[in-house]
Amino acid sequence: MPRSYPKESGPAKVPRVSPPRFIPAYDAPERPRDRALLFVVRGLDVLVAEQGESVRIPTGAELPALAAEAHFLGMLEDVDCYAVALSKDTEPPTGLKLVPARSLYNRVDEALFGVTGRALAIAEWDSTHRFCGRCGQPTVLVPGERARRCPACRTPFYPRISPAVIVLITHGDSMLLARNANFPEPFFSTLAGFVDAGESLEETVAREVKEEVGVELKNLRYFGSQPWPFGRSLMVGFTAEYAGGDIRVDGQEIAEAKWFTIDNLPRIPPRMSIARQLIDSFIAQVKARNTPG
């Protein structure tokens, strides 16, 4: 499953449980939207104000007409957040520009980047489900939940999420990393792929690994998960141990795959990504078991 990451150096931290900075909600509160962050999106682009190297999400006060029809996402700390789609024939207002949401990676903090990803998904869902896919009638919003419903045939439409697996394969003190043929830059990451209909997550891991690098696995264990807006996916992370087989890359998605130890790592994904969290967790384990005492 192709993904790309911007360059970044320095160790990543394995995520710790902490109070959430963002609290999701559905029904908009009865208060002005002037202070609210307004995530205006078009496809995978988001409207921002650029100030040198920094970026800023506009507020409802700057775009009152769009704010009035936006979907409430929840609260980022004590600030309301809304999402709305910008039509293709509407030019961005003066002082604001559409940029790829991916470009906000490492330019904003993790919580704000996460809300941006949520906004992309909600705006797309709202735009693509205005009419019923079964009978063609206009749909209406359902109070109290994130849904649109057809008033004629009662078919509900919810935001779609595509589950995907991502796995770090280890063998002693080595880890198997691969370079995707579609990566714009030559770096190595963990293996990943989308879940097929009728598959369990465990079956997906086994299939993707066999298809992409040809090896067998054992001791598959759940690691954690991460929403990933580029592909509307939920990345479900696993670790597994090598059980046998020679590396044979598919030559289509995977250009090369190799075993690496922690002292000869290639360029790897940046912080925030679950791929990096998997790698850093294994590095910490290797260092701990190889430290005397």
Q: What is the pLDDT of residues 133-167, one digit of tens each?
A: 999 999 999 998 999 999 999 999 999 889 999 99
Structure tokens at 186: 């030559």
Tell me 250's DSSP state.
Answer: -
Q: Contact 49/58 with Cβ under 8 angstroms? A: yes
Tokens matching residue 252? 């289509």
| Mean pLDDT score of the chain | 90
**CATH 3.40.50 is held by the domain 22-128:** no
pLDDT digits 0-9 by tens, 186-218: 789 999 999 999 999 999 999 999 999 999 999
d(CA 69, CA 85): 10
One-letter amino acid for residue 116 of the chain: T
- The torsion region of residue 272 among left (phi > 0), alpha (psi -120 to 50) and beta comes to left
Instruction: Please report, for residues 208, 209, 210, 245, 246, the alpha-carbon distance to residue 215 in angstroms, rounded to integers and kept in the order given.
Output: 10, 7, 5, 5, 6
Domain 162-287 CATH assignment equals 3.90.79.10? yes
Same fold for the pair 22-128 and 162-287: yes
DSSP per-residue codes, 207-242: HHHHHHH--EEEEEEEEEEEEETTTTEEEEEEEEEE
* Position 222, amino acid: Y
Pairing assessment for the beta strands 54-56 and 140-141 based on DSSP bridges: unpaired
Task: Find the DSSP H helices in 27-109.
Answer: 64-68
- Tell me how long the chain is: 293
The two structure tokens encoding residue 84 = 């709305």
pLDDT in tens, 21-46: 899 999 999 999 999 999 999 999 99
Question: The pTM is what?
Answer: 0.81
Q: Which amino acid is at 163?
A: P
Q: What count of Cα atoms within 13 Å lies in the side-chain half-sphere of residue 15?
A: 19
Structure tokens at 189: 């990451």
Domain coordinates in residue numbering, the chain? 22-128, 129-160, 162-287
